[in-house]
Every structure is written in structure tokens, then in C-alpha cells.
Amino acid sequence: MSAVRVGIHDLSVATAGHVLALDDLAAYDGTDPAKYRVGLGQEQMSVPGPDEDIVTMGAAAALPILHTHGADGIRTLFFATESGVDQSKSAGVFVHELLGLPATCRVVELKQACYSATAALQAAAGLVARNPAEKVLVIASDVARYELDSAAEATQGAGAVAMLVTADPALAEIEPVSGVHTADVDDFWRPNDSVNAVVDGKLSIVAYLDGVIGAWEDFRARGGAPLGEIDRFCHHQPFTRMAVKAHRRLAEHEGVALDEELLAVTTGYNRRIGNSYTASLYLALAALIDADDDLAGRRIGMFSYGSGSVTELFTLVVQPGYRAHTRGAETERALAARTPLDIARYRELHAATHLDSHADLQTAHESSGPFRFTGLTGRARRYARTDA
Ligand code: COA
């Protein structure tokens, strides 16, 4: 086994430029607002404008990391997403260009619903363990979209996380043991001709909870730490209440009581961003390290779930001095900068998303972020940096 310590050296968050308050959605669809606030644990959801997508959010998340560390040593960019913008070209290649990364870099997109950022992180850790001089940029970026007026509508959202994976990480070391679980389930998927996910919400909750136990048992069988040696948990949060369900299932399975209060801090960003699929688990981690100043040396259990379904449980150990490297103020600024939407404009934006690439398109300039999706020419997507 490699003696190299590998993990997350930097972590940065971005989201879309608009926000819808779920109280407004509740008023519109005649739902008790407590169902969304308490039952789902959600307050708001980020909504992309016409010139924003997974590429612009992913590049915006990675930009501060490049400002701090430069691009030296980055030879791989993994882009994890459920909401890919092309059937062939990796969204990461657009990001590579927007960020001005060196040509000597491999770029690939990974897909498995909300899970693939964890596959990317583990693959990144393997590459760095093989050559500790190399760094890997992992980007998880998604727009979670369901049909208007469906039960799933309140669990939409949009967000991105970028992580720099290196040797001797400043934030969190990835421990080598990991538990995995795969089962073919039709709980959530998105056919090629649809911009909205197809979901059996109740089945997805059952499949998620089964996956938690499957991954936990594999983790333990492979020598992973017992529950008593895991100090905090971050669970994938399609809606933040799901973290509590996962925690309860694990506690029941092990026949112990687990402190649910400790989960609250991990929901700080997801409550306001909504579901961000691949980024969701890592938004939970960002919220935890940004808010808690007593994590040095503590072990964090990370539960990743992607419908369809794949689950992985692994652990991180937070590094001494991590507080000096967190980016909570930047994330708060991005959340506060979002433009509030009324229901009419939200529904207009939702309806405007389309798959047709046959006609050239120029998007309205609405985003105040550093990157824009400017439109389509010759069926190809075009992007621009707006702050250069
Ligand atoms: N006050 C407080 N809580 C309320 C409430 C009220 N007035 N009304 C309902 N609730 C609670 C329900 O009891 C339920 O909690 P529980 O699950 O702990 O029992 C919760 O709010 C949701 O209510 P429910 O009736 O089950 O919601 P729904 O059928 O409208 O759909 C989802 C909820 C999550 C299934 C739906 O939003 C969905 O399909 N989302 C997309 C898929 C997804 O996110 N899956 C997660 C796993 S990947």
C-alpha cells in the first residue's frame, strides 16, 4: 500500500445566478410550506439563467482554486455530472479551455447519476498515489431538473464543487478503505431525449437506503472504521432531510443511537442550493468544514449515492490547519449574489431549456458570473469568459 497521503487540498463552490424561495413555490402549488421546509428540509433552490449551465458553474467553482494554486502539476481534469451538455464531448474540455489549463492534460466526463464525483475523487486519488507530483482537478456540476408541477419539483437545484486532489493535502486526507454497492434499479434516470429526469421518488428513497447498508457492510468487511470511530457524517442530500433518513437507517442497522444534531451543519448549503446531484455530497463537506472549527484530526464518513444505483462509503481525516484553507466567505457571497425569481420567471426559465441544436442561438447576457454560455453556432456550444 502506498505511504503517500492523498486527499483534498482545496475545495470551492459555485452555484447558478438565480434563486427561487420554496415558500413561493408552496404558495403557488397550494402546499403547506412546512412540507418543503421541514418535510424535505429545503428553503430555496438555485436556478440557472439562459447563459448558465454545468460548464459555467464548474469553471466558476474551479477558478478560485487556480487563482490560489496555479495550474502547475494538473495533468488530469475529471468532470462529474448527470446533466451533460453533449453526448460525446466532455464538459470538462470546455472548462479546460475557459480556465486556460495546459494542453498536457487529460480530460474526461464521468456519469452515474449523483455518484460519479466520488468515482472521480477515487480515480484522482489513485493517480496521485502513483505519482505524487501530479495534481487532479475534480469538478462536480449539475442542474437538477424535474417536470414542472411534479412531486419532485421542490427537489430541483443547481450547483458545482471543484476539488484539487494532491499529495499532502491541506484540507482532508482520503483513507484507503472504501465500501461500494451496485444494484440495477429504475428509481431515476434521464432518457437521451429529455431535459428532465424521470423519477420514482419513493423507490429512490428505498434504493438509497438499501445502498447505504450495502456500502456500509462492504466498508466494514474491508476493514473500515467502526461507527464509534467516525466523528461526523456527510450524506448525499437530494433534499437535506434525506441525510437524517440515511443516518437513522445506519443507526438501526447497527443497533446504536447516532447523534442527528451533528448532521445539521452539513445541510447549510444544500438547504439553499437544492439538489446539485454530483456536487451535493461535497457541498455537505464544504458546509461542514466552513462552519465547524473543531474538526482537525476528526474522521468524516462520506456516503455517496447515485440512482440507478451505485453507493460508496469512504472516510476522510480532516487535516490540522484546515481552517486557513476554507472558502466559506466566498460561498456565502455567491449565495447572496443570486437574483430572486418570482414564480412566473422561474417557470419561463424552466420551459426555455431545450435540446434542439439545429438553429444557431445567441443567449441573453444575464449571468454576472465569470463565465457564460453564449449560444450555439454550427450545432456547437460556445462559451466565453466575462471577467477577463
Ligand atoms: N409539514 C411537515 N412535514 C410534512 C408536511 C407538513 N405539512 N407534509 C408532508 N410532510 C413530510 C412527509 O411526512 C414526508 O416526510 P417523511 O418522508 O419523513 O415521511 C416529507 O414531508 C415528504 O412528503 P411526501 O408526501 O413523501 O412527498 P412527495 O410524495 O410529494 O415527494 C419526494 C417527496 C422526495 C419523493 C419527491 O420530491 C421526489 O421524487 N424527489 C426527487 C427524487 C429524490 O430526491 N429522491 C431521493 C433519493 S435519491
Mean pLDDT of 355-382: 94
How far is the centre of ligand 1, averaged over its atoms, from the C-alpha of 318 (Å)? 33
Residue 355 is predicted with a pLDDT of 77
| Count of alpha carbons within 13 angstroms of residue 22, beta-carbon side | 28
Nearest residue CA, atom 12 of ligand 1? Answer: 39
Over the chain, what is the mean pLDDT?
97
Residue 3 is predicted with a pLDDT of 78
Fold agreement between 6-172+326-385 and 173-321: yes
Instruction: Decide if 114 is catalytic.
Output: yes
What does the angle CA 92 – CA 204 – CA 159 come to, to the nearest 5 degrees?
30
Closest CA to 238 of 281, 291, 197, 196: 281
Task: State the closest ligand 1 atom to the C-alpha of 305, by its place in the atom list counted from 1.
Answer: 48
How far is the centre of ligand 1, averaged over its atoms, from the C-alpha of 40 (Å)? 6
Q: Which residues pair with 85 in a beta bridge?
A: none
Pocket test for ligand 1, best of 36, 38, 40 (most atoms within 8 A of CB): 40
Residue 274 is predicted with a pLDDT of 98
Query: Percentages helix, strand, coil for the chain, rounded to the nearest 5?
Result: 40, 30, 35
- CB 233 less than 6 A from any atom of ligand 1: no
Mean pLDDT of 100-125: 98
pLDDT-derived band of residue 40, with 50, 70 and 90 as boundaries?
very high
CATH class of 173-321: alpha beta
Which one of 236, 247, 312, 350 is the catalytic residue? Answer: 236
Task: State the closest ligand 1 atom to the C-alpha of 307, by its place in the atom list counted from 1.
Answer: 48
57-68 pLDDT, tens per residue?
Answer: 999 999 999 999
Dihedral angle computed from the Cα positions of residues 349, 355, 358 and 363, in that order, rounded to the nearest 10 degrees: 30
2-14 pLDDT, tens per residue?
Answer: 479 999 999 999 9
Domain ranges (residues) in the chain? 6-172+326-385, 173-321
Q: How many CB atoms within 10 Å of residue 4?
A: 13
167-209 pLDDT, tens per residue?
Answer: 999 999 999 999 999 999 999 999 999 999 999 999 999 999 9
- CB 206 less than 6 A from any atom of ligand 1: no
Dihedral angle computed from the Cα positions of residues 223, 123, 144 and 101, in that order, rounded to the nearest 10 degrees: 150
pLDDT-derived band of residue 387, with 50, 70 and 90 as boundaries?
confident
Which one of 9, 18, 43, 82 is the catalytic residue? Answer: 82
- CB 202 less than 6 A from any atom of ligand 1: yes
pLDDT-derived band of residue 388, with 50, 70 and 90 as boundaries?
low
Residue 230 is predicted with a pLDDT of 97
Calpha distance 6→316 (Å, rounded): 10
- CB 201 less than 6 A from any atom of ligand 1: yes
- CB 277 less than 6 A from any atom of ligand 1: no
Task: State the closest ligand 1 atom to the C-alpha of 236, by its place in the atom list counted from 1.
Answer: 48
249-289 pLDDT, tens per residue?
Answer: 999 999 999 999 999 999 999 999 999 999 999 999 999 99
pTM, two decimals, is 0.98
End-to-end CA distance of the chain: 44
- CB 137 less than 6 A from any atom of ligand 1: no
Task: State the closest ligand 1 atom to the C-alpha of 114, by its place in the atom list counted from 1.
Answer: 48
Which one of 109, 114, 181, 350 is the catalytic residue? Answer: 114
What's the CATH number of domain 6-172+326-385, 3.40.47.10, 3.40.50.300, 3.30.420.10, 2.40.40.20? 3.40.47.10
**Percentage of residues in the chain having pLDDT higher than 90:** 97
Calpha distance 375→87 (Å, rounded): 17
320-360 pLDDT, tens per residue?
Answer: 999 999 999 999 999 999 999 999 999 999 999 877 899 99
Within 8 A by CB and 6+ apart from 348, the residues are: none
Instruction: Decide if 109 is catalytic.
Output: no
- CB 45 less than 6 A from any atom of ligand 1: no
198-241 pLDDT, tens per residue?
Answer: 999 999 999 999 999 999 999 999 999 999 999 999 999 999 99
- CB 151 less than 6 A from any atom of ligand 1: yes
Residue 354 is predicted with a pLDDT of 74
Decide if pLDDT at 1 tops 90.
no
Residue 215 is predicted with a pLDDT of 98
Q: Which residues of 145-173 are buried (b: 16+ CB within 10 A; e: fewer)?
A: bbeeeeebbbbbbbbbbbbbbbbebbbbb
- CB 155 less than 6 A from any atom of ligand 1: yes
